[in-house]
Structure 1
Amino acid sequence: MTNQIYPCLWFDGQAKAAAEFYCSIFKNSKITEENPLVVKWELNGYQFMGLNGGSNFKFNEAVSFTIECETQQEIDHYWNHLISNGGSESQCGWCKDQFGVSWQVVPKILSQLMADPKKSEKVVTAFMQMKKFDIEKLINA
């Protein structure tokens, strides 16, 4: 069953290119439907829709997609692919892809580290100095 509620991303004629890009990064992903106006795809079972709506609207950080990662290898995979081809790095695990969509690539262990009152302040200090998260540095903070 696909999700009944899913995001629609507004692209300036690049919906299919975006869908192909995202499907190349995430396992178990595929384009499920396409026509000149709309492209639908699934990333790990979650449905997305891209609309070729023109240049009226641009993406910004008010909406981002979070990728929770088990390992540093996963973080590196998603981060490196998302910033490739004109994407950009930001702070604290945030980046933008080539289409301007914002992503948060975060270690799953982060919430556990933040829940420890003795460690949380040091963890925040550590990740405020990072662009891409480094799990080992967070654990050792």
Structure 2
Amino acid sequence: MTQPKATLCLWFDNEAEAAARFYAATFPDSHMGRVHRAPGDYPSGKAGDVLTVEFTICGLPCLGLNGGPAFPQTEAFSLQIATEDQAETDRLWDAIVGNGGRESACGWCKDRWGMNWQITPRTLTEALAAGGAEAARAFAAMMDMTRIDVAAIDAARRG
């Protein structure tokens, strides 16, 4: 298998394999790839420990690196997942938050490994792209939400 030209590398504190398995089981068009073990000792692990994990999230090639606690995830980086309806929004939100994650504002949540997610229904993205009063109403409605409520966004779009 040919390695993609670009791969998103995500830093974990020694739980890259567990995170990758969760992502592969949770998100559409996602799967686990190869698990690579360290050929020698390294700053946050020993020879034979899982060093990297190849996986795909929604078609995006990723590499999980067990780099240790030096660089925790922050809100400066997130993965945005476009959802088609409330059922998909709820399924993904509940999977992340219900597996040791926590809610944030405006459709953002954080998983148990510290990765930040934007679970964003397409209707919200479309409303914001429309601009003008429609975008302003949808934006104002979103600002009061944690999980995005598709019906409320659609109502705001209509005015």
Whether the TM-score (by the shorter chain) exceeds 0.5 is yes
| Aligned pairs (5 A) from 1:24-35 | 24-35=25-36
Shift of 1:42: 1.5
- Output the CA distance in 2 between the equivalents of 1:28 and 1:125: 32
Query: Which residue number corresponds to residue 97 of structure 2?
Result: 83
The TM-score, its normalising length taken from structure 2, stands at: 0.83
Divergent runs of 4+, >6 A: none
- Output the CA distance in 2 between the equivalents of 1:85 and 1:110: 25
User: Is 1:2–1:47's contact at 8 Å kept on the other side of the alignment?
Assistant: no
Instruction: Specify the SS of the correspondent of 1:19.
Output: helix
User: Is 2:104–2:146's contact at 8 Å kept on the other side of the alignment?
Assistant: yes
- The amino acid of 1:38's aligned partner reads T
- Output the CA distance in 1 between the equivalents of 2:3 and 2:127: 33
Q: CA RMSD in A?
A: 1.5
In our comparison, the structure showing a higher alpha carbon Rg is 2
| Aligned pairs (5 A) from 1:1-141 | 3-35=4-36, 36-114=50-128, 115-141=130-156
Instruction: Specify the SS of the correspondent of 2:25.
Output: helix
> For the structure 1 residues 113 and 49, does the alpha-carbon distance in structure 2 shift closer, same or farther, using more than 3 Å as the test?
same
The TM-score, its normalising length taken from structure 1, stands at: 0.93
Give the paired residue count: 141
Give the gaps of 5 or more residues in structure 1. Answer: none
Q: Identical aligned pairs, as a percentage? A: 38
